[in-house]
């Protein structure tokens, strides 16, 4: 192939991600011409409401998939954590890049660590998963919804609207804001796929699949597949506070997972470690364990 078109959202972070994928492809295929096609998604247009109330993760992928289906782009680049676990018919995740920093970052102009936050501090986040785990650690915190791109969120913090905000560390690092990270919140379990990029293509497009397969990181693919299997089994989306993180350590896989109520008062959590040859179906088994241990009750109450 001489030329391909990559579909991407128009935010600075999304463009960084698409340009990263384009640069990696050109390393393997120097003669390849790559064009970026900017697509405005519903999730980018609606910024005054929490994702949980306006439709969830598909808001960031639907318009890109429409262009894929029409052949207007050859592939789409997403943050894997934004990709629904069940793709519409006709699409597939052909590659997942090597995972960057998976954890959330504590960002504040006033306080150097999460533990320094005063009582009733105002903390900004758009994620129910983050909010629930923050309240689990500090029930006194006042969680305030925070939407918009990374720059918008940082401006709101700097304007004094929040005492601190919580953002994905990978996004901050990719945009050159590493200095804004006061602390990595390793106690907070990340979203499935956090820190990795997904390359979505038309199902069965062998030429594009062969190209992007060069960018696939097998270790990240295996770990995030377990995470997404867990999320799929519990019905996780932006509407429920669920965290899951899998990490390969030599020949073993370590997984942490959590299902929580929105206020963080009721939760079930589990840690497991298994040999790599036993990871088939692990996400589903772990989900069943948490659901049976009280997670199903928590999720049922969230639907009321």
Is-catalytic flag, 48? no
Other beta carbons within 10 angstroms of residue 301's beta carbon come to 11
**What is the Cα gyration radius of the chain?**
19
Residue 187: DSSP 8-state: T
Q: Are 256 and 189 in contact (CB under 8 A)?
A: yes
Report residue 113 as tokens.
């660590």
Per the residue annotation, which of 82, 104, 163, 205 is the catalytic one?
Answer: 82
Report residue 46 as tokens.
């609606």
The vertex-217 CA angle with 236 and 9, nearest 5°, equals: 60
Residue 71: DSSP 8-state: T
State the DSSP string of 81-130. GGS-SSPPTTEEEEEEPPP---SEEEE-SS-SSGGGPPTT-EEEES-HHH
- Give the closest residue to 201 by CA, choosing from 52, 34, 4, 2: 4
Q: Is 102 buried (19+), middle (13-18) or exposed (0-12) by CB count in 10 A? A: buried
- Could you give the 3-state DSSP secondary structure of residue 218? helix
Q: Where are the alpha helices (DSSP H) in the chain?
A: 12-28, 42-45, 51-54, 62-69, 128-137, 150-158, 169-174, 206-212, 218-234, 282-290, 296-302
Q: What's the rounded Cα separation, in Å, for the pair 61 and 91?
A: 11
Catalytic positions are 82
């Amino acid at each position: 192939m001489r030329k391909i078109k990559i579909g991407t959202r128009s935010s600075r972070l999304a463009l960084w991600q698409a340009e990263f994928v384009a640069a990696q492809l050109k390393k393997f295929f120097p003669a390849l011409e790559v064009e970026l096609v900017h697509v405005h998604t519903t999730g980018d247009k609606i910024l005054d409401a929490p994702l949980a109330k306006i439709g969830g993760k598909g808001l960031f992928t639907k318009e890109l998939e429409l262009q894929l289906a029409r052949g207007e782009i050859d592939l789409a680049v997403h943050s894997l954590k934004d990709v629904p676990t069940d793709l519409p018919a006709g699409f597939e995740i052909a590659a997942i890049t090597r995972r960057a920093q998976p954890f959330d970052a504590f960002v504040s102009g006033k306080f150097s660590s999460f533990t320094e936050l005063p009582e009733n501090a105002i903390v900004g986040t758009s994620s129910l998963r983050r909010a629930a785990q923050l309240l689990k650690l500090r029930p006194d915190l006042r969680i305030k919804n925070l939407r918009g791109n990374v720059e918008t969120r940082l401006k709101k913090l700097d304007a004094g609207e929040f005492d601190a905000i919580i953002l994905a560390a990978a996004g901050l690092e990719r945009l050159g804001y590493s200095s804004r990270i006061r602390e990595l919140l390793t106690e907070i379990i990340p979203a499935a796929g956090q820190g990795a990029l997904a390359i979505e293509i038309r199902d069965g497009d062998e030429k594009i699949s062969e190209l992007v397969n060069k960018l696939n990181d097998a270790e990240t693919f295996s770990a995030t597949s377990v995470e997404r299997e867990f999320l799929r089994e519990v019905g996780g989306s932006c509407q429920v506070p669920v965290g899951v993180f899998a990490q390969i350590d030599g020949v073993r896989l370590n997984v942490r997972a959590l299902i929580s109520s929105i206020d963080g008062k009721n939760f079930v959590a589990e840690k497991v470690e298994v040999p790599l040859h036993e990871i088939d179906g692990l996400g589903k088994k772990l989900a069943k364990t948490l659901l049976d241990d009280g997670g199903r009750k928590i999720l049922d109450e969230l639907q009321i």
